[in-house]
Amino acid sequence: MPTEFISVTFPNSATEINSGPNPTDIDPTYLVRYARTLDDYGFNYTLVPYGSGSFDPFTIGATIAAVTKQIKVIIALRPNTMYPTVAAKALATLDQLSQGRVVVHFIAGGSDAEQAKEGDFLTKDQRYGRLEEYIKILRRAWESKEPFDWEGKYYQFKQFSNGVQPTKGSIPVSVGGSSDEAYRIGGSLGDIFGLWGEPLKETKDQIDRIYAEAEKAGREDRPKIWVTFRPITAETDDLAWAKAHRTLDALKGGKPLGGIVPATSSTPQNVGSQRLLEIAARGEVQDRALWYPTVTATNARGASTALVGSYQTVSDSILDYVNLGCELISIRGYDNYNDAVDYGRYILPNVREALVQKEKGTSEVKEPNGSSTVQTESG
């Protein structure tokens, strides 16, 4: 399968290091420009994130779909916010409007405090149990030709009939997380499994866990693996590292957070953030270019591991993960629009060209003088 790229869409230019407008104010001109830029530069997907006090992903997603031609919209959804029969219709409606360009990414909920803000007081294990039931209901609603009943632990209804079908019969379901339950549910039910950027060894270990759960569930296929980074890149490695340290200084300076919940010094409740902080304690740089000070500066608030280096270094780092089996690469920087342009100009073409050469059985070898030669795989 080809490697595909994911971005993240926010409604205005505010980020963790850019004061910009109020993070929850929508700038329609910026949103349309950003979405079209992603489309023009060949991004395959964009994630519309969810927060308890933030904008509605469905409305933002519909706007993106209306002004673009190719890019797929990933709607982040917490099961506590929408009954599954309603979600089945809403997602299918957006899928029809976009002509089949919708994915749903489920967030079981990694923070009790964040879930409680919208009236969800289930335990973490219960939230995952609810997510499992939710996915099964969605699939049934999209596939069933006849009305059906549901008598589950978390949902009950009678004779639901869905007259709104997805364009291709179903909609891809993405699950993320780093807990045992996340692996089990995502491995058994997900079309896509999302991981945060960890070193190659730890990433491979997680992929093996996900694939094992898929096999245990009797699946003949396996979820596509999605891995997320915050690349900091420039023309040369030296320029990229200088930019990285400026970014870190800004993060430590307590600048506005682009609508993301501010970091605290307490230990995060979710396993993914705990894993990132444990790895960060081992050293600042892992593997080729994986940089962890951005993790500690934000207390692992969300996806926060950076890839630092020249366009070529970052491209090579991404290819390391592609070689592990990661088919979906999510990249977002700290200046959303300008970084997306840089990635579209330099990173996406580099990675895609390298994969084309690999498919042809050739590889480009960089010479000390900057020239390049092409060798066969056996050469």
Q: Hey, what domains does the chain have and what are their CATH numbers?
A: 4-376 (3.20.20.30)
At which residue do the structure tokens 């600048």 appear? 255
User: CA dihedral in degrees (214, 216, 218, 221; nearest 10)?
Assistant: 20
pLDDT for res 364: 53
**Per-residue pLDDT at 110:** 84
Residue 203 makes CB contacts below 8 A (sequence gap 6+) with 195, 197, 227, 321, 324, 326
Under the banding of pLDDT at 50, 70 and 90, the label for residue 253 is confident
Tell me the average pLDDT across 119-143: 96
| Residue 53, both tokens | 């006090």
For the cut 80, the answer to whether the pLDDT of residue 369 exceeds it is no
Span 26-44, mean pLDDT? Answer: 97
Q: What is the mean pLDDT of residues 222-239?
A: 98
Residues of the chain above pLDDT 90, percent: 76
Q: List phi, psi (to 5°) of 75.
A: -90, 115
- Going by C-alpha positions, the residue among 215, 213, 175, 181 that lies closest to residue 195 is 175
- pLDDT at position 366, please? 47
Tokens of 216: 């245990």
Containing 102, the helix (H) or strand (E) segment is strand 102-106
From the list 141, 48, 139, the residue with the least C-alpha distance to 98 is 48
Of 16, 94, 9, the residue nearest 43 (C-alpha) = 9
When the pLDDT of each residue in the chain is averaged and rounded to a whole number, the result is: 90
Contact call for residues 137 and 84 (beta carbons, < 8 A): yes
Q: Residue 125 above 60 pLDDT?
A: yes
The mean pLDDT of 237-260, rounded to a whole number, is: 80
pTM score: 0.91
pLDDT, mean of residues 209-218: 98
